[in-house]
Structures are given as structure tokens and as C-alpha cells.
Structure 1
Amino acid sequence: MKTPVLLAAILLLPASVASVGTGVPLAPITTGATARAAGPGQAGMPTTAARPGARASWQWPLAPRPEVLRGFDPPPKPWLSGHRGVDLGTAGAGTEVHAPAAGTVSFAGVVVDRPVITIDHGGGLRSSFEPVESTLPQGAAVAAGQVIGTVLPGHCPPAQCLHWGVRDGGDYVNPLQFVLDLRPSILLPLAGGP
């Protein structure tokens, strides 16, 4: 590849292709069949075609922008084990969790042994966070960016993290598609090039 073409290819890559913090590869991910590819030291992330027009539209649930400690890695079959969300690094217990988009609290309680809060954003989209202590009752309206609770210890020991999952209808989808533009880059020929 000629040097100007290579340089143009690098300059056209979106910022979302850059590292999210731990070398977790970013790829367009929604529902459907998955293909796994992981290099040494990378968490395997399934890849499928992105929804038409999928782009970043929500905000991160933690501020400042957190490190992604573990990526989205759903199982090939719904009944198998997998990672149906992302784990985001926090400053520790007590870190504020913000609503990534406006919605209504559809659940606030304990699931198995962890406190969970779920927000229904409408259109079939629901996001869940754990372990999060919240005083918001079921049915409470929340605005984008509003504090919905605080992180409790217990997930990702010894580091502290927040697990963020998103469902679109009955399917788990990659939460990162709502805060990063995960669409593939398209390289165009340079004017006057071969």
C-alpha cells in the first residue's frame, strides 16, 4: 500500500476504533448470529452487522468516561453462560451512576444477591445496572444524566466496577453502541489516486 493511501486510511478511522482502555476490540454488535475473534490477551467480542444508522446517542453512565474492563460477550444460545453487558471501571464504592438516557425506573431491587436498577427508555430499550444502591422507586421518571444510584462493592473483585446491560426487546445488545459510534469505517479513494 502506498504511503499516502495508508495515511489517508488511518486518518479516516473514527475515534471509536481507538482503544477503550484495555485493548478490548470494538465492533458493531447487535442481535443475531455472532462470530468470535480474540487475539492474545483480548476479551473475545462477538461481531455482527450494526443496525442501520446505529450511532452514539446516549451518555456514559459514569463520569468521567470509564475504562471498559470487560466487553460484551453474549453466548451463542440464550440459555448458555456469557457476558450480556459490559463492566465499567469505577473510582470505587459510592461512585454515582447516571441515567444514560431518559426513561422510567422499571425495577429497583435485589436479584439473587445484588442490588439492580433497570430503566425503561421506551421503544423496547431497557438498561440495567448492578451492583447499584438506589432510592428511586419503581415508576420514577428519570432524565438523561440524572443520578440514579451509587456503585456498591462486589462486582469485578479486587477492582471495582459497574455492570451495564441493555436489552432491545428480549435480546441483549452491546451497551457501547449507544455511547460510541461502532459503525465500520469506509475508506474512499483519494482524489487523483489509482
Structure 2
Amino acid sequence: MNVVDLRFLAGVFVTLFVIVDPPGTVPIFLSLTRTMTSKQRSRAAMVAVGVAILIIASFAVFGRFILAYMHISLPALQFSGGLLLLLISLQLLMGKEGELAQSSGVNVALVPLGTPLLGGPGAIVAMMLFVDQSHGELPRVNALIIALVVMAVVLYVFMRFADVIAKILGDGGVTLVTRISGVLLAAISVQMLFDSVHSFLQTWGVIAAS
């Protein structure tokens, strides 16, 4: 028996990567931390990643209980999540990912970096759906944990070395990667919408369960 479901691991990581969009956070992170020293920027990156992972993991563990308490079905959550991700993908495609206001007196590592930029609704919904797809199987649960840890490391590396990455890619390179992420995210969101409609039809007996 495999300890880790590698295919499931790859699917979770790719989806989270596209949703969170580490390359797209580079220009935002640089603009929000432009007055910080290198040490302060490193700390801000660590705090932001920690907050984001904590939020995503919390919803991954307790999300089902919240849904049950509020009488929300998973297909309904999936459909709303698909719409939400579609809106996010359109923002990426139209170059509006940087429209985040910086409030005075607020630690930017917490808001808007930790949430909603990194630990936003899109990543939360996606993670909850993956937890549901894992069916409590150990290889898939391990894959979820590993994917989340690897995602945290990738996020920290991108933000910690944001200035270096921005110089290597250039403005055009960062924009290109962000637009490609937008296209992929749009495809994922549409698939989520199709899957939710399929689940609704199965629930009502319109089509047979596969």
C-alpha cells in the first residue's frame, strides 16, 4: 500500500499553486514591504505564509462541521467556489491583482498578505473539496499535508526572494506568468461549476451516479 498518493498530491499542489499564484504575489509583496529592511521583509514573508496556511488548514479540518451547522451542501459550496475562482481568474487576466489597499496601523503580513491574498476563499474552498475527495484514505490525507507544506515553502521562497525574482523575470515576465495562471484558474473554476451541476443532478436523480 502506498503511503502517499502521488497523483492526488500533484493535483492538490498544482491547484493551490494556480489559485494562490506565488509569482503574482511578487509585485504586491514588494509594493507592500518597500519601506522594510531585508530582515523585516523576511519576517513579514514568514508571518504571511504562516497565517495563510493556518487559515487553510483550519477550514480543511473544521470546514465540514461548519457546513453541516449552516446546512450548506458541498455541491452548493463547490458551485459558489467555482464562481469565486472565476472572478479571481478574471482579475488575474485583466491585471487587477494588485488592487489591495494598505490600511494604516495594520500589519501587512496579516492583512492583506496572509488573508485574503494567500489564505483567501479560493484556496479555502479548494482545500475543503480536496479533503472531501480524500475520503479519509491515509495516502490521500498524507498527500494533502505534504502539498500544503510544500506550498508553504514555495510561497515563502517567492516572497523572501521577491526582489531577486522580480529582477530575473522582469515586469513582463511576472505579468506573463500571472496571465497564464489566470487562464489555468479559469479552466479549474469552470470544471468546478460543471462538477457541482453534475452532483446536483445526481442528487435529484436526473442522472445516474457514476
Tell me the TM-score normalized by structure 1.
0.27
Which structure dedicates a bigger proportion of its chain to strand? 1
Tell me the TM-score normalized by structure 2.
0.25
Which structure dedicates a bigger proportion of its chain to helix? 2
Larger RCO (CA within 8 A; separation ≥ 6)? 2
